[in-house]
Structure 1
Amino acid sequence: MDNRINEIRRQIRALRVSMLEAEAIMREQIKRDEDCAFVAGDILKMRVVMSRLVEERSVLGDNEPILVCFASRRPRAQKPVVMPLVNRRPVFGEQRAR
């Protein structure tokens, strides 16, 4: 039974990585305004397989989280430059002479 749980956990890890790669491909296709129906269909199929694996895993009694370490393909966003505020008084017009 432990072998089956380990096999399921390995399949889930691999499936997660595949899903992330497919999502990245789909995002690139969307950026280029291309048809991404094929990749989206594949992602939906992967989700069905994932749900079945998770269900089987929980039936076997494994409830520990599965950690997946994968490299991000996106570059990190740069921190925005914050300009210091300058204390200025608003000018509403010339002062009236009394």
Structure 2
Amino acid sequence: MDNRISEIRRQIRALRVSMMEAEAIMREQLNRDVDCAFVAGDLLKMRLVMSRLVEERNVLGDRTPIIVHASVAPRRRATVAAFIRPAKRELIAAEARA
């Protein structure tokens, strides 16, 4: 049974990485205004497989979290801060005009 749990955990890890890559591809296609129906369909199939693997894993009694490193596929691009706080200004007394 431990071998089956290890196999399921390995499949879930690989599937999560594939799902993150598919989501990144789909985002790029959406940004370019390209049809992403094929990738979206594949992503739905991956979610179905994932839910079945998770069910089987729970039936076998494995409840420990599975960690996937975020460095594999970034979820979002780094964005530039929309608001930048201006530097402090010092007040200078107005000079008397002669």
TM above 0.5:
yes
**Matched residues in 2 for 1:10 and 1:22: separation?**
18
Aligned counterpart for 1:76 among listed residues 75, 78, 84 = 78
Q: What are the within-5 Å matches in structure 2 for residues 52-67 of structure 1?
A: 52-67=52-67
Unaligned runs of 5+ in 1: 87-98
Residue 47 (structure 1) aligns with: 47
Percentage of pairs with the same residue: 67
Residue 31 (structure 1) aligns with: 31
Which ranges of 4 or more aligned residues in structure 1 deviate by more than 3 Å? 72-75
CA RMSD of aligned residues (A): 2.1
**Matched residues in 2 for 1:24 and 1:75: separation?**
10
Equivalent residues of 1:26, 1:40 under 8 A apart: yes
- CA offsets, 1:60-95, max 9 Å, x none? 000111111132445433344211477xxxxxxxxx
Structure ranking higher on relative contact order (CA contacts 8 Å, 6+ apart) = 2
Equivalent residues of 1:17, 1:70 under 8 A apart: no
Q: What TM-score do the two structures reach when normalised by structure 2?
A: 0.79
Residue 11 (structure 1) aligns with: 11
What is the total number of aligned residue pairs between the two structures?
Answer: 88
- Offset, 1:30: 0.4
